[in-house]
Amino acid sequence: MSRMWPTLSRPRWADELDFVGPRVRTAAWAWALLLAGLVAVATVLPLVSQADADLLEAQTTLKRLQRAAHQQRLASTASRAAQAEGGAAAALTPESARRAAQLAQWLAYPWMAVIGQAESAAHSEQAVMLSFNLDLATLGSAPDAWPAAHVSAAVRDDASALRWAQAHGAHAQLLSRERLAVPFDSAAGAYDGRAEAMWPGGAP
């Protein structure tokens, strides 16, 4: 009876889960459990990496827009201070006049209206915004030159991508449509594509 007690005190399944203990062999189901865990980890890691990359891109865009808003506030403050001084304005050189005109165009550009239009288009088609860029190189190059806006978003299918691009206005163009490296699901459905659209230069 005393010889049977060690066998009853440790279940057999506990020995089968022991990968490093002093045993003869590991059960096949235990190896299958270990393999399933490794597959789960390998599946989750790309999703985490993609989420980190999207978060970093969104943070970069937010910082760029915050810098533009800060520069606009500084320019407005400097303009009010110059007007308050009431002194005679110094004659502008051609270079100073060009820079002043460029600054005026930057301040006159409807930043919030364009950003709001991009957000409204994404909301109308339940697209997930991935990036928003303005080609500032053209801003100020001519009196009527406006920068082209480039946007990209995750979309559910080709039809949704086309409607999303058209929602930005009559002059918007769908530039590309490709598969996402890591598709994902949301309450609106499955997202497996990435689309890029552009507004051409001109008053928005």
Angle at the Cα of 111 from the Cα atoms of 105 and 114, rounded to 5 degrees: 120
Domain that holds residue 53: 18-65
CA gap 47, 153 in Å, rounded: 17
- Across the chain, what does the average pLDDT equal? 75
Domain assignment present for residue 184? The answer is yes
Q: What is the percent of the chain where pLDDT is above 70?
A: 70
User: Could you tell me which residue, 157 or 54, shows the higher pLDDT?
Assistant: 157
Q: What is the percent of the chain where pLDDT is above 90?
A: 1
Distance from CA of residue 136 to its chain's centroid?
20
CA gap 30, 45 in Å, rounded: 23
CA gap 94, 167 in Å, rounded: 41
pTM equals: 0.47
State the average pLDDT over residues 29-38: 80
User: Could you tell me which residue, 190 or 19, shows the higher pLDDT?
Assistant: 190
Cα distances from 162 to residues 119, 123, 145, 188, 197, in angstroms, run 16, 14, 27, 17, 9
Q: With 70 as the cut, is the pLDDT of residue 19 above it? A: no
In terms of domains, do 55 and 141 share one? no
In terms of domains, do 150 and 199 share one? yes
State the average pLDDT over residues 4-27: 59
In terms of domains, do 51 and 143 share one? no
Do 81 and 157 form a contact (C-beta atoms < 8 A)?
Answer: no
State the average pLDDT over residues 99-108: 71
CA gap 179, 186 in Å, rounded: 17
Domain count, the chain: 2
